[in-house]
Amino acid sequence: MFWGLPFFMGPSILILLPALALAIYAQYKVRSTYSRYSQVQTANGTSASQTAKRILEGAGVSDVAVEGTRRKLSDHYDPRGKVLRLSDPKSVSVAAVGVAAHEAGHAIQHARGYKPLVLRTAIVPLANFGSQLALPLFFVGLIFRYQMLVTVGIFAFSLAVLFTLVTLPVEFDASRRAVVALRSSLLVNEEELGAVKEVLFAAALTYVAAAAMAALQLLMLLSVNRRR
């Protein structure tokens, strides 16, 4: 959501390079790891949707529906509808089972009122608003030399950065819950659990890259503002 940056920002744009490299690496890593482990079936043979249901049951969460969704790698938990959507619900692959367990982790966070998730959900509208308005305000302010707009633009962008940062504990915690639940329910063996961890680590890396990108973009805006 932050990619539409014009190139007239001069050398400040170089600030973004490390985050860009990390983002590209994370994308590659998540795709390659997922595709490798979507070829490997679990010995237990429980499907992704069954896995999610078993984990939710085990956690005493009974009001969450598990559905399929068509888009690939678009697995998610929708807290408003209390629906867990899996892109590959029937799959018995290590990758699909791992992702299903992670999404169940989000549903459990929701049921338990896990603070970072509550905060994240609360700032979604602000962050969306901020990320849409920030750059137009910033650049209009720069062009017309109206510092107030530049400052408001930077503040709005900070909200979007905050969102990407709050997302990190939410994602790491969902993966932690997934691993604990998979291990204790014996849905996967230790070797498969290692593969699940690899898949979830790669996915977490994309969130780290997004947060780094957002934070460095904020730095870039501050640096452009200061150079003027």
Please give the positions annotated as active site. Answer: 103
Number of H helices, E strands in the chain: 6, 3
Minimum CB distance to Zn ion, residue 174 (Å): 5
Between 158 and 167, name the residue whose CB sits nearer to Zn ion. 167
Minimum CB distance to Zn ion, residue 164 (Å): 13
Which is nearest to 77 in space by CA: 106, 112, 53? 106
Q: Are 52 and 101 in contact (CB under 8 A)?
A: yes
Number of residues that bind Zn ion (CB under 5 A): 2
Q: Are 49 and 66 in contact (CB under 8 A)?
A: yes
Separation CA 47–CA 73 (nearest Å): 16
Between 171 and 192, name the residue whose CB sits nearer to Zn ion. 171
Binding mask 113-152 for Zn ion (x = CB under 5 A): ----------------------------------------
Residues 168-227 contacting Zn ion, CB under 5 A: 171, 174
Minimum CB distance to Zn ion, residue 53 (Å): 18
Between 108 and 174, name the residue whose CB sits nearer to Zn ion. 174
Between 171 and 198, name the residue whose CB sits nearer to Zn ion. 171
The region of 85-93, 128-136, 165-173, 186-194 touching Zn ion under the rule CB under 5 A is: 165-173
Minimum CB distance to Zn ion, residue 59 (Å): 16
Which is nearest to 51 in space by CA: 33, 66, 68, 36? 66
Minimum CB distance to Zn ion, residue 33 (Å): 15
Question: Could you write out the DSSP letters of every residue in 129-194?
Answer: HHHHHHHHHHHHHHHTT-HHHHHHHHHHHHHHHHHHHHHHHHHHHHHHHHHHHHHHHTSS-HHHHH
Separation CA 124–CA 155 (nearest Å): 15
Q: Are 199 and 37 in contact (CB under 8 A)?
A: yes
Which is nearest to 217 in space by CA: 7, 10, 12? 12
Q: How far is CA 222 from CA 57, 63, 131, in A?
A: 48, 46, 16
The region of 21-29, 113-121, 141-149, 164-172 touching Zn ion under the rule CB under 5 A is: 164-172
Between 40 and 73, name the residue whose CB sits nearer to Zn ion. 73
Q: Which residues bind Zn ion (CB under 5 A)?
A: 171, 174
